[in-house]
Structure 1
Amino acid sequence: MRVALKIAYIGTGYHGSQIQPDVGTIEGEIFRALTELDIVGDPKDAGYISAGRTDTGVHAREMVIAFDTDKPNLAIPRVINSKLPKAIWAWAHAEVPDDFDPRRGAISRKYRYVMSGEKYDISSIRSASKILVGKHDFANFCSKEGDKNTIRTIEKIDVRVSGTLTKIDIQANSFLWNMVRKIVTALTMVGSGVRDEEWLQQMLEPEFYEEGLECAPPYGLTLMEVNYPEPIEWTEDAYSIRRANEVFHEYTVRHRVMAEVMDHLVPKE
């Protein structure tokens, strides 16, 4: 039987989602849990596929994975979570067709970038974001991967203010390596007055204009959704979600306290 899972994780402290030798990764922890529970023997032999990859320090709310198992009764969130660290948890599962491929089968993905918005003109960022919507060549907004096609279609960009923070949601048919983080950099350059909309339009014409962009920091980026053409009948695990909320509360409290401590470490001018 082929099983799909929705996985969430805090990427801080991990060298990305994709398994690598000698470093801690999200997949490395998932593989260890699945094999220790004897849900799969070898992930590759079980046809393990994920919906994509995230870089070092990037988070996910809804990374979709799928694999074959002859023990579907064990391939459920609360069982798998018993072998995962607190920063990684499964929260929904589904039985899927034997040929289900969470990466190639996806029709769109949505990412959210959260940043401090205190020093940017949000109206300028909103206006500039409209230029990027649609089908374009995003060669100037990615880290090159050989001869990979750099044309993508951004379906929508939503920019919202929440207190002192700004949230930028970007949904596209698919994304290039570092594409979201470089788009965020470009939008903040316009929002701070360093560049204008004419420059941004030029950046979408890489055959005539080429300029490198730094990536925005990874800690603000989260993979929010992966969408498929056919609805998947997900079963959410209430216990796993409740437990994750408890962990999040502990995590949030700790970081709020640390923010206050750090504020006290520097003498006021």
Structure 2
Amino acid sequence: MRVALKIAYVGTGFHGSQIQPNVATIEGEIFRALTELEIIKDPKSANFTSAGRTDAGVHARELVIAFDTDKVNLAIPRVINSKLPSAIWAWAHSPIADDFDPRRAAIARKYRYIMSGEQYDISRIRSASKILLGTHDFANFCVKEGEKSTVRTIEKVDVRVSGTLTKIDIQANSFLWNMVRKIVTALTLVGSGARDEAWLQQMLEPEVYEEGLEPAPAYGLTLMEIIYPEPIDWQEDAYSIRKANENFHEYMIRHRVMAEVMDHLVPRE
């Protein structure tokens, strides 16, 4: 039987989601857990597929994976999580069609970028974000991969303020390597007044104008949702969700304390 899982993770400390030799990755940890539990023999024979990949340091709330298994009773979040580090957890599962490919079946993906917004004009960012809507060539907003097309369709961009933070949600049919982080860089350049909307419009015309952009830091980016044309009958695991909340309560306390410690390390001017 084929099973799909929703996986969430804190990407800090991992070299991205896709497995690589000799470094810690999200897939590497998932493969280890699934094989140790004998849910799968190996990724290839289980036809393991993932809805996408995230870069080093990027997080996910809802990365969808799928694989074939004869141990359906073990292929559930609370069992799999027993072999995963606390920074990675499965929280929903569903039996799925034998030919389901979570990447090819997806019709859209949604990312969220969170940043400090105190130094930016949010109205400028909101106005500039509208320029990105629709189908464009995003060659100036990605790391190119061979002859792969750089044309993508951005369906939604939502910019909102939450206290001192700015949250940018971007939904598109699919994304290129570093595309979201480079878009965030471009929007902050406009928001700071360093560039204007005419420049952003020009960046969407790579056949006549080229300019490299540094991607925004990875730690602010989260893969929020994979969208499919037909609803999947997800069965959420209440125990796994509760356990993740407990882990994150401790995680957030530690980082709040560390933020206060850092604030006292440097003398005030």
Task: Give TM class, smaller chain.
Answer: over 0.9
Q: Which residue of 2 aligns with 1:188?
A: 188
Corresponding residue of 2:237: 237
1:24 equivalent to 2:27? Answer no
The superposition leaves residues 21-52 of structure 1 with CA deviations (integer Å, 9 ceiling, x where unpaired) of 00000000000000000000011110000000
Q: For residues 68-113 of structure 1, what are the alpha-carbon distances to aligned partners after superposition, in whole Å with 9 as ceiling and x for unaligned?
A: 0001000000000000000000000000000000001100000000
| Superposed CA offset, 1:164-200 (max 9, x none) | 0000000000000000000000000000000000000
Gaps of 5+ in 1: none
Are positions 1:161 and 2:161 aligned together?
Answer: yes
1:88 corresponds to 2:113? no
Deviation string 1:138-179 (CA, Å, 9 cap, x unpaired) is 000000101110000000000010000000000000000000
Write the distance in 2 (CA, Å) between the matches of 1:130 and 1:251.
Answer: 36
Q: What is the rounded CA distance, in whole Å, between the counterparts of 2:121 and 2:251 in structure 1?
A: 31
User: Which 4+ residue blocks in structure 1 deviate beyond 2 angstroms?
Assistant: none
1:2 has 2:16 as partner: no
Residue of structure 2 in register with 1:152 after alignment: 152
Listed as ranges, the matches of 1:109-148 within 5 Å are 109-148=109-148
Identity, % of aligned pairs?
83
Q: Which residue matches 2:104?
A: 104
Residue 4 of structure 1, CA deviation: 0.1
Ranges in structure 2 where 5+ consecutive residues have no aligned partner:
none
- 1:193-223 deviation digits (Å, cap 9, x = unpaired): 0000000000000001100000000000000
With structure 2 as the length reference, what TM-score do the two structures score?
A: 1.00
- AA partner of residue 58 (structure 1): V
Aligned length: 269
In structure 2, C-alpha distance between the alignment counterparts of 1:150 and 1:267, rounded to whole Å: 47
* C-alpha distance in 2 between matches for 1:47 and 1:139: 32
Q: CA RMSD in A?
A: 0.3
